Amino acid sequence: MLGRRAVPHRGKPRFRSLLRRYPCSHEFIRHVSDIELFSLTNNDFYWHGLQIGWSISIMRQSIATLLIILFVMGAFIGCSLFGSYKTRIKVIGGGIPNFELSGSGTMIDFTIYGPKQRPGEGREAFIVWKLIPIDTTGDSDLGDLDDIGSIKYGTVPKGYKQVYPENNSPPLTLKEGESYMLQVMTNNAPWGQIAFEIRSGKAVEKPFK
């Protein structure tokens, strides 16, 4: 029990009337922040009822701070993942086409699929031409696709080796009217693919079916 009855500060609204008028804690805090509610025997001022409001306010600030931190982290991760731009492929030329490559990834697999090339039912049976890095440990500095620029059909770029056809045999001539697909797999960036055919002696991109 208090030594004497708490007396509202002269000229200020009463505590209970304020609570009735502003039932929400944040409204109550806004309108009562400059009011000395009760003077007690030890001359200390206690803000009864404001502790809950302050706690809610602190929780809201903490949640807002946490959301900001999560947003910044998400933006940082997004920049790390998508700051590298995806692989783009363009086919140009004639019966021996050039494949123009661009992107920030490092090429780890260059494979052209087409009509069946060898016995078997797996994907390997349909590989027309396949290249992979000479050093498969990932320690070699191959640069990105922008550094490679373009690859001419049948010409192995520096730092890579031919897997199919076997024994470094030259790849077969691309047939007029046949459908082919090139897949370029990369590290550190989305991979890419393109469908094309030789039409009237020219390499032409075609939509995927």
Cα(200)–Cα(176) distance, integer angstroms: 7
Local confidence pLDDT in tens for the 209 residues of the chain: 455 555 444 544 454 554 455 454 444 444 444 444 444 444 444 444 545 555 666 777 778 787 888 766 765 555 445 555 789 999 999 999 999 999 999 999 999 999 999 998 899 999 999 999 998 776 567 888 999 999 999 999 999 999 999 999 999 999 999 999 999 999 888 999 999 999 999 999 999 76
Give residue 146's pLDDT.
92
Q: What is the DSSP string of the chain?
A: --SS---PPTTS--HHHHHHH--SHHHHHHHHTT----B-TTS-B--TTHHHHHHHHHHHHHHHHHHHHHHHHHHHHHHHHHSSPPPEEEEESSSS-EEEEE-SSEEEEEEEE-S--SSSSSGGGGEEEEEEES-TTS-S----HHHH-EEETT-PPTTEEEEESGGGPPPPPPPBT-EEEEEEEEESS--EEEEEEEETTEEEEE---
